Chains A and B, each alone.
Chain A
Amino acid sequence: MAPGLEVDPCDKCEEMMQPYMDKVLSDEERDEAEAHLDGCSYCRKRYRFEVELRQYVRTAVVEEMPPELKQKLSELRTPL
């Protein structure tokens, strides 16, 4: 990178957001992300949205197993 051209901290936070939520950042990166989120309402709002979105998607796409399928699976067991 050319001297003087710093990465925009909000762009960097955006890139770190998913790995941060997945808890796979290094300690140093996590501290950096949290320090930025503490001081930046723009990113904090988006972080809250991302957390809610992930939870929403997870719940919205759930389709429970039909009870009759469970019965069919039980019937596949080895006879005693």
Chain B
Amino acid sequence: MSETTPEAEPRKLAEEARDRVRFEEEALDLADQVYRVARRLVSTREEAEDLMQETYARAFRSWKSFQPGTNLRAWLLRILTNLNIDRGRRVQRSPDLQPLEEGDYFLYNKLEASGGDSDADRVDQRLSQDDTVAALSAVPHDFRDVIVLVDIGDFSYADAAQILEIPIGTVMSRLHRGRRILKRELAERTIGSGV
């Protein structure tokens, strides 16, 4: 049973409308940042654009389920990653169980061995933007998702765990392995096969 008086009802509606407008404005202000992450979670620009529109349509519909004061960017990306999985856009893959012998110094050591030691630490002279984009795309989805969220999107391990609905330990282990796979892919593109 409602306790609102007839006069209180319009005020409540006006407050709700104002909250909704504020929510929509804040969500739109974050769109550039959400897109940068979205773009690297999927393969093509078209997919990223579709996913953004579906995400924002859903967010605007369910704005009341967002808890003010919590991380809106993480909330939007949680919707986006769920939609991405629901729509079957992600190709199901078997886990990458190939042994990965390379350590964290792998790429540096390869660059040093291939081009003299003085250049190995000049990252921008040794790597190209296209190779880097291609190398990231070649990292299997499960590993790439955490790299994109943590290293590109600047999310904490805890936020990434919440967005992807996986335990924090899984975020850490995928990040560890994913970064090594990324370095292997970068080495293959930069120095050539046979690395």
The residue from A46, A56, A61, A77 contacting B124, defined by CB atoms under 8 A apart: A56
Contact yes or no, B108 A45, CB < 8 A: yes
Please indicate the chain A residues that have their CB under 8 angstroms from the CB of B53 in the complex. Answer: 69, 72-73, 76
B52-93 interface (Cβ within 8 A of A): 52-53, 56-57, 60
- Taking the nearest CB of chain B, how far is it from the CB of A62, in angstroms? 6
Q: How far is the CA of A7 from the CA of B54 in the complex (A)?
A: 51
Q: How far is the CA of A65 from the CA of B48 in the complex (A)?
A: 9
Taking the complex as formed, is A40 at the interface, i.e. its CB lies under 8 A from any CB of chain B?
Answer: no
Q: How far is the CA of A56 from the CA of B32 in the complex (A)?
A: 20
The residue from B28, B36, B127, B176 contacting A18, defined by CB atoms under 8 A apart: B176
Contact yes or no, B127 A60, CB < 8 A: yes
Interface size on B, residues (CB 8 A): 40
User: Which residue on chain A has the smallest CB distance to residue B121?
Assistant: A49
Taking the complex as formed, is B104 at the interface, i.e. its CB lies under 8 A from any CB of chain A?
Answer: yes
Interface size on A, residues (CB 8 A): 34
The residue from A64, A76, A78 contacting B32, defined by CB atoms under 8 A apart: A64
B1-44 interface (Cβ within 8 A of A): 17, 20-21, 24, 28, 31-32, 35-36, 39-40
Mostly, the A contact residues are helix
Taking the complex as formed, is B182 at the interface, i.e. its CB lies under 8 A from any CB of chain A?
Answer: yes
Contact yes or no, B35 A18, CB < 8 A: no
The residue from A14, A18, A61, A65 contacting B133, defined by CB atoms under 8 A apart: A61
Contact yes or no, A56 B127, CB < 8 A: yes
Please indicate the chain B residues that have their CB under 8 angstroms from the CB of A54 in the complex. Answer: 151
Contact yes or no, B151 A57, CB < 8 A: yes
Contacts A14-B104, A57-B132, A72-B53: A45 and B31 contacting too (C-beta < 8 A)?
no
25 contacts between A and B (CB under 8 A): A14-B105, A17-B104, A18-B176, A18-B179, A24-B157, A49-B107, A49-B123, A53-B123, A53-B127, A54-B151, A56-B124, A57-B132, A58-B151, A61-B136, A62-B152, A63-B45, A65-B32, A65-B52, A69-B49, A70-B28, A70-B32, A76-B53, A76-B57, A78-B20, A80-B21
Please name 9 further chain A to chain B contacts, defined as beta carbons within 8 Å, in addition to the given A63-B39, A66-B45, sorted by A numbering.
A48-B121, A53-B123, A56-B132, A57-B151, A60-B127, A61-B136, A66-B49, A69-B49, A76-B60
Q: Which residues of A contact B (CB under 8 A)?
A: 11, 14-15, 17-18, 22, 24, 45-46, 48-50, 52-54, 56-58, 60-66, 69-70, 72-74, 76-78, 80
Instruction: List the 8 closest A-B pairs by CB distance, nearest first.
Output: A65-B35, A60-B132, A52-B123, A60-B129, A56-B123, A49-B121, A49-B108, A73-B56
